[in-house]
Amino acid sequence: MRLFLVIVGIGVLLAGGGVIVWTAADLPPVGLMVRHGFPPAGGPTGREITIEGVRFVEIGAGYFRMGSWSQCDRGDLPGRICARFKLPWGKQPGPQGNEAPVHWVRIARPYWLSVTEVTNSQYARFDPEYERSECSPGDHHPVVEVSQDDARRYCEWLSGRGPLAVRLPSEAEWEYACRAGSTTEYCFGGDEAGLVEYAWFGANAGDGAGEVGTLRANRWGLFDLHGNVWEWCGDRWHDDYQGAPDDGTAWVEGAAPFRVFRGGGWRWPAVFCRSAGRVGLLPVGRWDSLGFRPAASGGR
């Protein structure tokens, strides 16, 4: 009996230690792996629909690791383990930026996402009086200088013209689509030198945005999530991810007046075009490098 208890005790200690190390190393929760398999998980289902010239693809449920430690000091593994128990050993994590803590998010339900940013010609069907920007003037250039309120009204209009409930994507949905199964700073890897193949940004865009869909798509067939124009999301701004939803929904609670947009823009440096990069602005704000890409629910 004594030997049995010793064996059980050792097993419990090993299991507990394994759980601590697993969690501190940011490995996927076991429940997500059982439900969706090893990452990368999810991706396009093969279903598509076009509404008023906007081509949507359906993105299947899955999970991913959201955020980045690149703007803060993550510490080392012993330090992260000790930090959980308020112990002083190891290299402890430093101050966390607005892209941390990195956390696992489950995209609980399939959703639809536009393959490109909304263009001037697509937006003109909704608002023929809209005055195009000199920085993005063509039919196939992204619409810019639209507020989040403008983008929401467009989504409501589009909802009435098809079988989908069109809306702005949540931050989690946007980053899930941008990463397309990657875990690096960009969808193609960690070296920003490759960004010129995927994004119009400060190094290659010149005096304005590029036509949508003219550079390389990510692995899921989506264009311009890096660069070209920033894209409004449906979330309120928060200074970090403490308390953020882990089911892929928009984070709408909180008193902050700012709203989130993602992806970087044509006049911005590469660091802002990372998959995890995020900025906030009042919902009535407008920039010449800020547009949007609609998402949608339903359609089955």
Q: Where exactly are the structural domains of the chain? A: 39-67+103-298
pLDDT for 128: 97
Residues 263, 274: Cα–Cα separation, whole Å: 7
As a whole number, mean pLDDT of residues 56-63 equals: 97
pLDDT for 207: 95
Give the chain's largest Cα–Cα span. Answer: 84
- List, in order, residues 6 or more apart from 275 with CB less than 8 Å away: 68, 175, 178, 179, 182, 184, 185, 186, 187, 225, 226
Q: Is the pLDDT of residue 126 over 70?
A: yes
Q: Is the pLDDT of residue 110 over 60?
A: yes
- 182-201 burial: b if 16+ Cβ within 10 Å, else e: beebbbbeeebeebbebbbb
SS3 state at 107: strand
Residues 292, 230: Cα–Cα separation, whole Å: 7
Banded model confidence at residue 23, pLDDT cuts 50, 70, 90: low
Residues 271, 264: Cα–Cα separation, whole Å: 8
Q: Is the pLDDT of residue 12 over 50?
A: no
Banded model confidence at residue 22, pLDDT cuts 50, 70, 90: low
The pTM assigned to this predicted structure is 0.88
Strand extents, DSSP E, the chain: 43-51, 54-60, 62-66, 103-107, 111-114, 164-167, 230-236, 259-262, 278-281, 290-291, 295-298
Banded model confidence at residue 15, pLDDT cuts 50, 70, 90: very low
As a whole number, mean pLDDT of residues 168-191 equals: 97
Enclosing H/E stretch for 159: helix 148-159
Banded model confidence at residue 53, pLDDT cuts 50, 70, 90: very high
CA dihedral 261, 117, 216, 72 (to 10 degrees): 0
Q: pLDDT per residue over 239-252, tens digit each?
A: 999 999 999 999 99
- pLDDT-wise least confident of 64-73, 92-101, 275-284: 92-101
Q: Is the pLDDT of residue 81 over 90?
A: no
Give the torsion sign (CA, 115, 70, 144, 109): positive
pLDDT for 49: 97
Nearest to 79 by CA among 69, 70, 89: 89
pLDDT for 72: 77
SS3 state at 17: helix
Residues 199, 209: Cα–Cα separation, whole Å: 10
Banded model confidence at residue 5, pLDDT cuts 50, 70, 90: low
SS3 state at 80: helix
β-bridge pairing 103-107 and 230-236: unpaired
Q: pLDDT per residue over 195-222, tens digit each?
A: 999 999 999 999 999 999 999 999 999 9
Banded model confidence at residue 25, pLDDT cuts 50, 70, 90: low
Mean pLDDT of the chain: 90
pLDDT for 35: 83
Rounded to 10°, the helix 77-84/2-24 angle is 110
Banded model confidence at residue 92, pLDDT cuts 50, 70, 90: confident
Q: Which CATH class is domain 39-67+103-298?
A: alpha beta
SS3 state at 228: coil
